[in-house]
Structure 1
Amino acid sequence: MPPRDLALVLLVVFAWGTNFSAMKLALEDLPPLLFVGLRFAILVPFLLLFARPAPWTAIIAVGVLINSGQFGFLFSAMRADVTAGLASLILQSQAPLTILLASLVYKERVTPTQMAGIALACAGLIAIGLASGGNITALGLALVLCGALSWAVGNLVLRRLPGVNMLALFLWASLVPPPLMLALSLAFEGPTPISTIAQMSLQGWVSVTYVAVISTVVGYSIWGWLLSRHPAALITPFALLIPVVGIVTAALVLGEGVTLTEALAGLVILAGITLTIFGRRPNQPR
């Protein structure tokens, strides 16, 4: 890989890893469901740059499952029940969940190595759950796992859309969260979303913009360009660095700490995810 492309893939990893600390900062000003709606409302003008990339059924499914479900659960957990660093790690359980669901829905065979990886990841999650305390609660763990499950189910939709421009798809799917999350916010978070947004601090606006524009538009643009130039097997493993960047950034920016038990459990989860990604058969779809 040329040095320029290596620098670009590391830039995306940095953007997606630091994204979790930006989410935590934005949640100081916004309730989680309203945050989801505002985050994707900012992206709506960008869809004018792309023609509709997929049928409306696929766009709505991605908008509900990945854009709304994943982030609705994730932001709800991060508001009070899980640190940014642990959230960045636990959310990656979407990888083994996707493999399990694909085996059930599409009858894709799970290799013994992948099963071992899934078992390892589950053991790590159980260890984090048993050690839950100041950094994560049982509710926080459950909410992040619900977000990971929403992402995994959304991946099954993406699995049926080979060759689709992912940036264009996610931008068009950003039409779904604003009205859906506004309605849920009015029902569960209070009747004053407009005044809440009007009272946001500069830190809140910078954080929301970073989450919306840098992690989504810039991140997916570069990631898609890299995947068009290099084999997926060369690019996708770099995603394993995202929770590492997330934990380090949360420690530096937010002052978050990780206990020894959480660190060990995190290594077990990463090992399990690595096995599930690299344990496929030679001809098995990634």
Structure 2
Amino acid sequence: MSTTAALPARRAPDGFAILTMIALCAIWGLQQVAIKSTNTFLPPVFQAGLRSAIAAVLVWGWARARSTPLFRDDGTLGAGLLAGMLFASEFVCIFLGLTLTSASRMAVFLYTAPCFTALGLHWFVDGERMRRIQWAGIIVAFAGMTLAFADGFARARGDIHGSMLAGLTGDALGVLGGVAWAATTVVVRATRLAHSSASKTLFYQLAVSAVVLLALAAGLGQVKVAVLTPIALVSLAYQAVVVAFVSYLIWFWLLTRYIASRLSVFSFLTPLFGVTFGVLLLGESFSLRFLLAALLVLVGIALVNAPAQRRSA
């Protein structure tokens, strides 16, 4: 079913949108470090569920303060439940993946999401078509991701202890997380959720994922807490308040005003922030091959966004 007639016109990112996306990418890049630093004190799936639950309560309070209806029957329940399940799947992959691979590598592999988002929107949403130069950018960025995976295989070769092989599993979970994130974005844009407020769209995802993740944590025997340090508490607060509440509200607000595929490709900046934070805060290291992979991703961003910048000139 086409949604063109009912959807408001969306435009290419302007200066405000670009600066906002850069700030969001820095926030999301730091998220991987926050999650990994807390995995020692809170089991990963339980941590993810707590994060969603806290953020869902904050979104409910925000919507109530602004008199934004969250529970009105507007035909979005099915799409909202699907988006919430996909959102939960994404964070299962992220939180479990970070027990197996570094925050730097997770940041790179998770952000294959814009590639899958652009492909999904191209096929399922009118007005989100990609031009040839944009496809070239997607291909270059995907080449960077492939090179990063090849770097992992090279490191795993001959590893008798299996730690590198476990790292490759973590890398693969990062890619699966990216696929789930992309699918969530497509569901939001291709269904009646496109007409909903940012608060309601986000509440669906947080509330459903909180239930799913906490139930899964209980089933896995992960509902337990080790000694919580101040760093762990700050990390959990950062994930729930800054990332899951503030940054996601801004992200969904941007999606109502700008072309989603053009916004999504800016997410390729997040791996660069993620690698930087991983090195500076966790002491992680990376190879020259991995650095080249990240640079290819940056070139992909430039190619995908060049037409939009020329058109607005």
Matched, 1:97 2:116: yes
Q: Name the structure 2 match of 1:20.
A: 32
Query: What TM-score, normalized to structure 2?
Result: 0.74
* CA displacement at 1:123 relative to structure 2: 2.0
Q: Give the aligned CA root-mean-square deviation in angstroms.
A: 3.5
* CA displacement at 1:73 relative to structure 2: 0.5
Q: Name the structure 2 match of 1:72.
A: 92
Matched, 1:159 2:189: yes
* 1:221-232 mapped onto 2 (5 Å cutoff): 221-222=249-250
Q: How many positions carry a matched residue from both structures?
A: 274
* CA displacement at 1:262 relative to structure 2: 0.2
Stretches of structure 1 that go unaligned for 5 or more consecutive residues are none
Structure 2 contact 83–187 (Cα < 8 Å) conserved? yes
Stretches of structure 2 that go unaligned for 5 or more consecutive residues are 1-14, 64-68, 156-163
Q: Distance in 2 between matches of 1:12 and 1:207?
A: 17
Amino acid at match of 2:111: Q
Q: Distance in 2 between matches of 1:8 and 1:96?
A: 20
* 1:244-283 mapped onto 2 (5 Å cutoff): 244-278=272-306
Q: Name the structure 2 match of 1:170.
A: 202
Going from structure 1 to structure 2, the CA distance change for 1:226 and 1:113 (only over 3 Å counts) comes to: closer
Name which of 78, 86, 104 aligns with 1:57: 78
Deviates more, 1:109-118 or 1:147-156: 109-118
* CA displacement at 1:253 relative to structure 2: 0.9
Q: What's the CA shift string for 1:185-224, capped at 9, x where partnerless?
A: 233x3x351xx23643332222111111011222234556
Q: What's the CA shift string for 1:244-264, capped at 9, x where partnerless?
A: 222211111111122111000
Q: Name the structure 2 match of 1:204.
A: 232
Matched, 1:185 2:217: yes
Q: What's the CA shift string for 1:77-96, capped at 9, x where partnerless?
A: 1112x221222222221111
Structure 1 contact 17–242 (Cα < 8 Å) conserved? yes
Query: What TM-score, normalized to structure 1?
Result: 0.80
Going from structure 1 to structure 2, the CA distance change for 1:208 and 1:280 (only over 3 Å counts) comes to: same
Identity within the alignment, %:
27
Going from structure 1 to structure 2, the CA distance change for 1:96 and 1:6 (only over 3 Å counts) comes to: closer
Structure 1 contact 88–242 (Cα < 8 Å) conserved? yes
Q: Name the structure 1 match of 2:131.
A: 111
